[in-house]
Structure 1
């Protein structure tokens, strides 16, 4: 419904309510005036009759004057009473009109949610700035207000244009910046359903799948990138992503093939290059019958024993999740460098958190010097902290090529 049409209907309803309040009062006043006029005519007629009866000797002059005075007094009293009626009606009239206006404003506010409309308009105005910032990789510096505004603006945009593939892409990137992988993947899948041949959509989708660390998703990502490489075989960015995905899957042949394509174009001290070199060495050692233990040279991360304090044993959700992740302890970047999620199975529990659990190939534990390690129990898989979550954390130095043993005690309930 257009705004002008809504205002027209609302104004019409207010006028109708006003008429329903005012018309009965006006009709009542007219009735009183008619009654007063009729009574005056009756009194005048009676006075004429008294004059005639006195002249005919039927009544004395004294009786005539007394009867005449009584009629006049009765008429005056009735006039005073009728004159006071409009004054008494003004208060109900005013209260009724006030109630009608207040009710109309209240209904309008409740139905239209003015504060939410204003909030949505502000978010839509901020959408170009925030979306550009997000597209340029600045999602890590978003405040909670920025995230809320951008989410609201994108959802408002998609509500009016559900086939807007770019809108779904932006929403996916936002979920990705918030660490909500499943929602990000679902948004990208909707974007791809609308524009299946868009290269940037497919590439972002593959990166999201790689960030899950799950073998099935990694293989899907590898398949997508392999298809893109058949169309763009000289694309070094695709070759690098293919090398990383293959390294995560333990595919030595593919890793070496695509790493060879980009090796000379990466700086020698590049964390990505060093990580791939270490992973290739690890895979070669495994193929030669080397150790398959978790603590293999070249793997950067932590072996974390997660312990739940006795005080919080009774606070465990029935169907919760354990989320263990690492962030950069030396910056304000809240993007997880590595994440492991699993259903609750019991405590204590030991978890390996390594570069293989990175959400993005370009940002992993190899990128950090000191990590903030967080173990959180939540009722869902959302990495974002929520009231009622149980949490423990500590800071630890990161040593490249080593899985460091440590332990985290979950002893705090978030408010």
Structure 2
């Protein structure tokens, strides 16, 4: 609806209300005029009858004059009554109309949401420019107001065109840019459902799933990437994403396979390459290959420049030596079986994705674990990239970082000291 149509409709409604208010008064006035006219005709008819009765000798001339005088008095009294009765309604009606219009205007101004309607209209007008900026990868340059306007405009468009897969993709990318991964995945899922043959949509969905750090989402991203690589096995970008997500999941075989595909094409000083090699080395040690002499590919990767060192001996290592203990209540009620998960999150933002995670079976307390850059879930998001962290130790029944009922945890905040392994103590004392 255009603004012209809106104003026409509002004017029509106001006119209709005024007519409803005025109709009873106008109708009563018309009735009074009709009644006065009818009474005058009756008096004239009666005078004619009196004249006829005198001529016929039914009444005397004196009786006629007396009846005529009575009719005139009755007519005068009725006219005065009608004038008095209809003359007092104008002022109350006028005052009531003014009050009603004033109240209506005040109420409408409070509840009409005109400011939001105008804002929505402006957002729709700005949609092409903002969409172009989002599509070109410049979402970081968008202000909070731009993001709010773009979100509103895209939602308005999707309300009228729910089958627009590009609109859903734009909405998902926008949510990704502001760190709302769950909403982003829902929107991108919708885009993939509408256009399953679109490779770009599926790649974006894999990126969104990887950004959450959730094990289930990472497994789903790995499945998506495997399908994409089956159709395009020489795509190095997909191979690199596959190596990263496999490293996050602890899948040593796939990490080795797809990193081997891209390692010679990465810059020699690539931070991502170094972290992937370090992760492969850690996974190999965990698998017992180094201990048994079955070094294989990890030794080859070590020859590319990564030193195979134990935790805490690398000069530029950043992290914490975390001593975990239980409160008295936790010793009585906390799970005795399951997993101990120690993880670090950014303490200076709302991003809840862990920057580092260590998981092990529950054992005797107190115990000490090292949480370092080698325990990063994503090569580009590590403890070295943070200044403030929230360190959490959790007793989990299922080994998942997400919260479940019956689990216990303790948390502390700390400053990250670059290149140092800082000692810190966490007491598990809270039931979730």
Q: TM-score under structure 2 normalisation?
A: 0.62
Is residue 2:412 matched to residue 1:396?
Answer: no
Equivalent residue number for residue 204 of structure 1: 204
Equivalent residue number for residue 158 of structure 1: 158
CA distance, structure 1, for counterparts of residue 233 and residue 194 of structure 2? 26
Equivalent residue number for residue 228 of structure 2: 228
* Change in 2 beyond 3 A, CA 1:351/1:80: farther
Is residue 2:387 matched to residue 1:370?
Answer: yes
Is residue 2:339 matched to residue 1:338?
Answer: no
Q: How does 1:39-54 map to 2 (within 5 A)?
A: 39=39
Answer with 170-179 or 7-16: which moved more.
7-16
Is residue 2:246 matched to residue 1:246?
Answer: yes
* Change in 2 beyond 3 A, CA 1:301/1:188: farther
* Change in 2 beyond 3 A, CA 1:88/1:255: same
Equivalent residue number for residue 295 of structure 2: none
Answer with 122-131 or 2-11: which moved more.
2-11
* Change in 2 beyond 3 A, CA 1:204/1:164: same
**Which deviations, in whole Å up to 9, do the C-alpha atoms of 1:150-191 show, x marking residues without a partner?**
333332222212112122222323333343433322222211
Equivalent residue number for residue 179 of structure 1: 179
* Change in 2 beyond 3 A, CA 1:132/1:34: closer
* Change in 2 beyond 3 A, CA 1:399/1:267: farther
Equivalent residue number for residue 326 of structure 1: 345
Q: Secondary structure at the match of 2:213?
A: coil
Question: How much has 1:364 moved relative to structure 2?
Answer: 0.1
Answer with 186-195 or 124-133: which moved more.
124-133
Contact 1:301 1:365 in 2 (8 A): no
Question: How much has 1:395 moved relative to structure 2?
Answer: 4.8
* Change in 2 beyond 3 A, CA 1:182/1:149: same
Contact 1:226 1:242 in 2 (8 A): yes
Superposed CA RMSD in Å reads 5.4
Contact 2:225 2:238 in 1 (8 A): yes
**Which deviations, in whole Å up to 9, do the C-alpha atoms of 1:103-151 show, x marking residues without a partner?**
59968986x7434423322333444454455555555676654444333
- Number of residue pairs aligned between Structure 1 and Structure 2: 369
Answer with 169-178 or 197-206: which moved more.
169-178
**Which deviations, in whole Å up to 9, do the C-alpha atoms of 1:177-223 show, x marking residues without a partner?**
34343332222221111111222221122122223334443333223
Structure 1: give runs of 5+ residues left out of the alignment: 311-321, 342-347, 376-382, 384-390
Equivalent residue number for residue 170 of structure 2: 170
Is residue 2:295 matched to residue 1:279?
Answer: no
Contact 1:371 1:397 in 2 (8 A): yes
Q: TM-score under structure 1 normalisation?
A: 0.64
Question: How much has 1:409 moved relative to structure 2?
Answer: 11
Structure 2: give runs of 5+ residues left out of the alignment: 293-309, 330-340, 358-365, 393-401, 403-409
* Change in 2 beyond 3 A, CA 1:349/1:216: farther
Is residue 2:292 matched to residue 1:288?
Answer: no
**Which deviations, in whole Å up to 9, do the C-alpha atoms of 1:299-330 show, x marking residues without a partner?**
8655596999x9xxxxxxxxxxx99763385x
